[in-house]
Each structure stands twice: as structure tokens, then as C-alpha cells.
Amino acid sequence: METIEMAALEEGQSRPTTITKSKSEMTLRRSLTISFRDLCYTVNPKKKTEMKILKSVSGTVTPGELVAVFGPSGSGKTTLLDILANRKGDNGEITGTLLINGNEIDDDYKRLCSYVVQEDILLPTITVRETLQFYADLKLPRSWTAKEKKDRIDSILEQIGLTHRADAKIGGILPGGIVLRGLSGGEKRRVTIGCGLVTAPSIILLDEPTSGLDTTSAMAVMKTLVELVKTKNVTVICTIHQPRSEIFRLFTKIMVLAEGRLVYYGADAINHFTSLGYPFPEQTNPADYILDAVTQIKETGRADEIADKLAPLYSEQALAEEAKNPHFQGNLNIKKGKISAYNNGMWTQFWVLWKRTGMDFVRNPSNSIIRFVVAIAVGLLFGACFADLGMDEKGVQSRAAVLFYLVINMILQPFCSISLFISKRTLFNAERASKLYHTLPYYLAMMFFECLACIITAMILGTISYWFSDLNSGVDNYFFAMAIMIIAHFAGDFFMLFISCLTVQVDTSFAIGAGVATIYQLFAGFFVTVDKLPKSFAWLRYINFVFYSFRALMANEFEGTTLDCGAPDAALCPTGGDYLDKFGFFNTRKGIDLVIVSAFATGFFVLVYLCLHYLHKEKR
Ligand SMILES: Nc1ncnc2c1ncn2[C@@H]1O[C@H](COP(=O)(O)OP(=O)(O)OP(=O)(O)O)[C@@H](O)[C@H]1O
Ligand SMILES: [Mg+2]
């Protein structure tokens, strides 16, 4: 027993907990009270463009409460939730106090608090059970056995009412726009909530859990939450738009925001707004009434006046609530920097991601299959154009052409990988922000299958061409040619991935990739031989891995051979070395060229990782 449970037990805290019988439920659900005082959120502080998004928001949410955050669009609901979830990035300045059981929070809070985002960001190709398994494998402590995890997943499936759909694929839009049939919108919403329940969190924050759902699905989602509040004593806060009156009645308290100001927090919103001069029309949905009242408050510019009056009261209430909280001063066992927010090490993360990426790869094989089919087709057409090449003048020219086009194919094929990271960027950003895993294991798992596809493609194309064109038949030469082709394919592939991770736009990546690929071809020493390259740009070949790949393949093909010039004595004919000299490839050391191409591939590999890790992060 590590992490949360361990942490709580170690310190011998006398904290009320909900412990159920099986280990699947045996996470100490500590009852947590959130209190926040005078929370302000300012974007671009002290600049001309300064914008106060939240101003002096105070309140307390105790265990077993289901609190709704209401307000017109843009009133700061998501912002408040993000701050309460400790997920706001450094885009703005947060001031005020946010305490959990009277203690400051830090990264470990993410284990106790689950944040369910507005969008359902799930991998379409895996099933409901596999999705929950993925979360269980990454979020639960290592000490949990497979059986215990399965029990937890079964229990969550029951809670979210999806036991009968456990083996259904999530479904959605695959890269390329193909629609994979799967769950309904409401079911996906419940899966997203289920993912947040894996660690049996004490606090659940949900951003618009019912938006986009029909009333029945919305009710099903809300009932799931009510069950959690009632049976597990969980603290739940959610933002919500237009709930039907039955849903409205489920909330124990309502928080109403207008232009970033708190204009009400309590259990009797109707009386409050009536007393402010906004009578409640009979037979109106209370939620609609509150929103109408807030809109009027906003339009008449009364938000500040009302909020200013209430702010000290709510602030005092928060303080008083904190003081009477029996766990006040209790230690949440959060030690800054000591405990990682991740429950599993890099290796486990890699293994879990490897399994999921593998499943996705196998279940959505169109990209890889197309790559292999194209490699076979290109190989066969190469064979048709350049079959059984001899060593006469025409034959050696054709050999050079085969080798050049083999390399070029290795840098053009990677265009199909442009969307590899782009298409999963949203999923990756969301999962990384939830501290499910680090960038490195994710990157290595994705690259494992990408490299596998590259190796197979290069081997297929290389072997077919080698065989048909009757290229240098030495075993060493064959394996060297395959090695160069694979590494050149890696370099080309990683280069395209680098461009795509840099721009995160498919169109832009194509434009840049096509331009660079053309330059690569021009300066590879085939169309324009080295001695004919324009002097001022000849250096470009040195930063061109296609040049080194082509030169190495040429050396591999011609070194130690004699050309067939028709002379009675072969000794009178030029050698393969002479032919290489014609291309300006003097004294080529193909082994060194292989190392250089490998260095390019490694360099691009690292650059892709850096782009993925540091650029286009989720901004909150
Ligand atoms: N980092 C930011 N930079 C600039 N503006 C921001 C930032 N974060 C939030 N805002 C602005 O603050 C306001 C409140 O945003 P928020 O997303 O919290 O609203 P909301 O109440 O959740 O709205 P909705 O109901 O439409 O989801 C919006 O006008 C939004 O554009
Ligand atoms: Mg919002």
C-alpha cells in the first residue's frame, strides 16, 4: 500500500474515512473540505491589456455536497473550476487562498481531486473496459494486483451504469475522418467521469458534465454523481448550463457568478434573487430564473454592488467553516516536492502506453497497411523498369537511378506520418495535464510502432528492388543496403515528425516538407553531380542526409566491381571506383556515411521529443 493510502496511514491521522470491504474500494476516501477565500484571477496583470476574470470569490464546499456553479457564458465558471483543481497554468496571476482541510495544496492534490473536463477526450479504438484499465494501470499504486484492479473497474462500470457496454469500443473520428461507431454522447460522458473515479477521489470537479446531452442522458450522469455524493461522501462541484428542474433540485448548494463576481452562494438562490428585486415567476425552471436574474444584474451593472456586499460575508463564512472543520489543522500529508503526482514509474508508464498504442495500431491498421502495400507496388514497378541490370554503361546508370530513387522513396513515404502526433495531440495534452504519464514514455511507445512500420517498409521496398534489379549480390552488401535504407527512412520520418510537431498543422507541414524534400533531392549528387553544384550552395549537401545515404548506397554497389565496357580484357575496363569518381564520390567510406545518417536520425529523434515536450502545451 503506497501513495494515498500509505501516506494517510503513516501519519496516523484521525481522519474520517470511507473504507469498504474489498480492496477494489479500499482506498481511504478522506473527507475533504475545500475552502477558498478572495480568489482573484487576472490575465496580463499590470499591463494595458490587464483583465480580471475572477474577483474576490469565496466559499466552502464540505464533503457530501453537490455544488453547481451557474452563470452566463464567460462569467468565469471554468476558470474557477480550473483554479480549484489547481490546473491553471502561468497565463495569469492567481491571488487568494485555497485550502483543503485547512492546508495548502500542492501537486499531490491531483491524486485526491479528480477533474473531469468538458470534452470527452478518449481514444476511439479501445473499449470502455480498456480505457478504465489504462487509467487504473497508471493511476493506482503499483501494489495493486490485476484482480484488485479488475474489481475496481467492475465497481466503476456499475457506478456509471455501463457494465453492459464494457466491451464496446469508445468510437469517434479516426485520423482521416473515418467514423468508428461506438458509444453515444451520454455514454462517453459517463466513461470520462468513470476515468476520474479510478482513484476513488475525495473531490470531483466537473466542467459542464451534461452539456450536449439529451435530458435523459443528462439525468443519468447526474444520478451517478448524486450516488457518489451520498454513498461515498465525495465532494462534488460542477459547472452546468440549463439543467432541467429535476437536475436543479439535486444540488445542495448553488454558486452564481456574473462577470467573474460571486453574486450568490448558498442553498436558497430563489429567495436571494427575489429579495434583490427579481421575482420568481411560478412554474419556471429555477435554473432559467437564476440565469435570467443574473443576466439582468449584469446588464444593469449591479454585479459589483451585489458581490461587494456579499464578499466579506462569504469570506467570513469560509473562515468560520474552516475553523469548525474537525479536520482543520489535520495534515493532508502533502509534502512539497517529496511525493510525485505520478503513481507509477517511467517503465510502467511506457509498458501501459505501449500496450494501448499497440492496440490502436492493430485496430486502425489502414496507415501501416497502405505503407506496406505502396512499398510492394513501388518495388514491383522498380523491378519492371529496372529488371536484371547489367554492368554495361546503361546498366550502371540504371543502377545509380535505382539507388537514388530508393533513397528518395524513403524520404517521401514519411509524408504519411505527418498526423501521427498531431491527430493525438489533444488526447496527449489532456492526459499529460492530468499527470497520467510523462512525455518520454508516451513518445517512446508511439515511436516504437512508428519505427517498426519504417523498418518493415524499408525492408519490403529494398528487398524487392534488390532482387529484381539484380543489385550487388554480396550478403554484406545486401545487409548494408538494408541498414542504410532503414536509417535513411528513420531520418526522413523523424524529420517529417519534427516539422509536424513544430507546426502542429498538417497543411503547413506538407508545404515545408515538400520544399525541403525537393532541396534534399537536388543536393543529393545525382541530378547535379557534386562538381557541378553551384559553388555558393554546394555546402548544402553536407547537411543533407540524402546525399550521405545515396553516396553510401553507391559505394556499396560499385566498390570493388569492374564495369562491362565490351573490351576483350576486363582489366582495360573502368572500375566501379572510376564510376563513383564521376559522381564526385572520391574515397567514400560507406561505414562513416552510415554513422552520419544515423546521427541525423538521432538528432531529429531528439528534436521531435523536445517539440512534443515543450511546445504547444495545454494552456489553461
Ligand atoms: N488565459 C486567458 N486569457 C484571456 N482570457 C481568458 C483566459 N482565461 C479565461 N479568459 C476569459 O475569461 C472569461 C471567462 O472564461 P471561462 O471559460 O471561465 O467562462 P465560462 O463561464 O466557463 O464560460 P462558458 O459557459 O462559455 O464555458 C472569458 O471571457 C474568457 O475569454
Ligand atoms: Mg466554461
Q: Identify the CA nearest to 589 among candidates 600, 580, 578, 602.
A: 580
Q: What is the pLDDT of residue 22?
A: 47
Which residue has the CA at smallest separation from atom 31 of ligand 1?
A: 74
Strands 92-100 and 34-43: antiparallel
Q: Is the pLDDT of residue 336 over 50?
A: no
Distance from residue 69's CA to the centre of ligand 2 (Å)? 10
Ligand 2: centre distance to CA 240 (Å): 9
Contact 267, 65 (CB under 8 A): no
Rounded to 5°, the CA angle 351-352-358 comes to 85
Q: What is the Å distance from ligand 1's center to 54 Cα?
A: 10
- Neighbouring CB atoms inside 10 A of 283's CB total 5
Task: Please measure the distance between the N-terminal and C-terminal CA atoms of the chain and give it in whole angstroms.
Answer: 33
What is the mean predicted confidence (pLDDT) over 16-25? 44
In the DSSP assignment, the letter for residue 351 is H
For residue 298, the CA-to-ligand 2 centroid distance in Å is 18
* β-pair partners for 98: 36
Note the pLDDT tens digit of each residue in 260-276.
999 999 999 999 999 99
Q: Which atom of ligand 1 is nearest to the CA of 619?
A: 1
**Using CA positions, which residue lies closest to atom 25 of ligand 1?**
73
Q: Which residues pair with 339 in a beta bridge?
A: none
Q: Read off the pLDDT of residues 64-77 as tens digits, 9 standing for 90 and up.
A: 899 999 999 999 99
Q: What are the φ/ψ torsions at residue 258 (nearest 5 degrees)?
A: -140, 120
Angle (CA) 128-131-136 rounded to 5° is: 125
Residue 582 has pLDDT above 70, yes or no: yes
| 384 vs 86: which has the higher pLDDT | 384
Confidence of residue 16 (pLDDT cuts 50, 70, 90): very low
pLDDT band at 256 (very low <50, low <70, confident <90, very high): very high
CB 463 within 8 A of CB 482: yes
Cα 375 from Cα 357, distance rounded (Å): 23
CA of 81 to the centre of ligand 1 (A): 11
Ligand 1 atom nearest residue 620's Cα? 1
What CA–CA distance (Å, rounded) separates 58 from 313?
A: 9
Lining ligand 1 with CB less than 6 A are 43, 53, 71, 73-79, 91-92
Cα separation, 106 vs 111, in Å, equals 10
Mean pLDDT of 131-135: 97
Mean pLDDT of 30-42: 88
Q: Which of 279-283, 432-436, 567-571, 606-610 has the highest mean pLDDT?
A: 606-610
Q: Is the pLDDT of residue 556 over 80?
A: yes
pLDDT digits (tens, 9 = 90+) for 215-224: 888 888 898 8
pLDDT tens-place string over residues 445-493:
999 999 999 999 999 999 999 999 999 989 999 999 999 999 999 999 9
Confidence band of 241 (pLDDT split at 50, 70, 90): confident
What pLDDT sits at residue 28?
Answer: 47
Mean pLDDT of the chain: 88
> Separation of 73 CA from ligand 2 center, angstroms?
7
Residue nearest to atom 12 of ligand 1 (CA): 53
Ligand nearest to the CA of 261: 1
pLDDT value, residue 324:
65
- Which amino acid, residue 163? T
Res 485: pLDDT = 97
**Rounded distance between C-alpha atoms, residue 562 and residue 384, angstroms:** 25
Residue 11 above 60 pLDDT?
no
How many residues would you count in the chain?
620
Digit-coded pLDDT (tens) for 490-527: 999 999 999 999 999 999 999 999 999 999 999 999 99
Pocket test for ligand 1, best of 79, 94, 210 (most atoms within 8 A of CB): 79
pTM of the model: 0.86
How do residues 172-198 score in pLDDT, each as one tens digit?
988 777 889 999 988 999 999 999 989
Domain boundaries, the chain: 3-324, 350-614
With pLDDT > 70 as the criterion, what percentage of the chain qualifies?
91
Q: pLDDT confidence of 615, banded at 50, 70, 90? A: very high
Q: Out of 3.40.50.300, 3.40.47.10, 3.30.360.10, 3.40.50.10540, which CATH number does the structure's domain 3-324 have?
A: 3.40.50.300
Confidence of residue 530 (pLDDT cuts 50, 70, 90): confident
